[in-house]
Amino acid sequence: MTALSFAPFQPLADLLIPHTVAERLDGSHDVSHLHRVWSNVCAIRDKEGGDHQILLAATLLHDCVSVEKNSPFRSSASRLAAAKATELLAEMGWDEERTQAVAHAIESHSYSADITPTSLEAKILQDADRLDALGMVGVARLFYVSGRMGSHLYDPADPQAQQRDLDDKRFAVDHFKTKIFTLAQGFQTATGRQLAQVRHARAERFLTEFMEEIGA
């Protein structure tokens, strides 16, 4: 990534990025993911407001603890990340109020944690992170993660799960209905909802055309 990736807040980013796990071998949660989420944060913040410093710290540290998608401890990942971020920011001299604001945003961003965000910054981060699970990027990440988990693309006997239960651990395309298509209705900010509708439509179009190509 270039030195301008998080401009005009690059000095803070340079301090925080070494403490993230974004360099690990996971193309769905790498530095490019952090940058996409930050771009989404900026797009929402420009319309909704919010504290830039809190938002950047929360963005860069929201995945700073790695827990695999198929781990039974997946729902604890955001709480562990929030705890790590709290410790790090305290060591950097952040006051308790701002540190806790970052921690709450990190803790409540996660879909699996099911924690309601209460601050504007937490709502923005949750929206920004979920935008990256929608649209064409969301589709790419879905199949990337499914491949890492050893899933099939789809059930050849019943691709649209008309006569079976959805099972996104076995079939990647089932994840559209179990999660992706549910995301757009849960956005926290007006700007986030508008952006989500556009990306939701793209994901729907992808699945429609995919099913056409496999003869379903």
Q: What does the pLDDT look like over 22-75, one tens digit per residue?
A: 445 676 677 888 999 999 999 999 999 999 999 999 999 988 887 666 555 556
Q: In whole angstroms, what is the distance from residue 204 CA to residue 177 CA?
A: 10
Higher pLDDT, 30 or 94: 94
For residue 65, give both structure tokens.
């603890």
- Predicted TM-score of the model (pTM): 0.88
Which residues share a beta bridge with 141?
Answer: none
Query: What are the structural domain ranges in the chain?
Result: 1-115, 133-216
Among 70, 64, 113, which residue's Cα sits nearest to residue 87? 64
For residue 145, give both structure tokens.
């993660």
What is the CATH code for 133-216? 1.10.3210.50
Eight-state DSSP code of residue 22: T
Which residues share a beta bridge with 148?
Answer: none
The answer to whether the peptide bond before residue 117 is cis (omega within 30 degrees of 0) is no
Architecture of domain 1-115 in this structure: Orthogonal Bundle (1.10)
